[in-house]
Amino acid sequence: MDARETGSAPRITVDRDRCIGAGQCVLAAPEVFTQDDDGLVDLLPGHEDAAGDAHVRDVPMACPVQAVTISDG
């Protein structure tokens, strides 16, 4: 059963405690991720449900510490 069948969309979760500021998330999907003044990952407002974007789906593997995860709802 996929997200369309359950009615829930995949969601992006960021773990700022785990983040080391490598910036791979921002390089992969700058329209969804940014870095704060300390260099830590931040999800741009309104993009919590952008997990279906192909570039965003690559972010968890690009992050060296897996600070970004995508859950299937």
Q: What residues have CB less than 8 Å from 64, skipping those under 6 apart? A: 20, 22, 24
The phi and psi torsions of 36 (rounded to 5 degrees) equal -80, -175
Q: What is the pTM of this model?
A: 0.81
Q: What is the DSSP letter of 44?
A: P
Q: Which domain holds residue 23?
A: 3-71
- Return the higher-pLDDT residue of 2 and 42: 42
Q: What is the CATH number of the domain that holds 63?
A: 3.30.70.20
Q: Given pLDDT bands bounded at 50, 70 and 90, which one contains residue 4?
A: very low
Check residue 52 and give its pLDDT.
87
User: pLDDT tens digits for 27-64?
Assistant: 999 999 999 999 999 999 988 889 989 999 999 999 99
Residue 14, strand partner residues? 68
In 3D space, the residue among 3, 6, 18 whose CA is nearest the CA of residue 68 turns out to be 18
Q: What is the DSSP letter of 11?
A: E
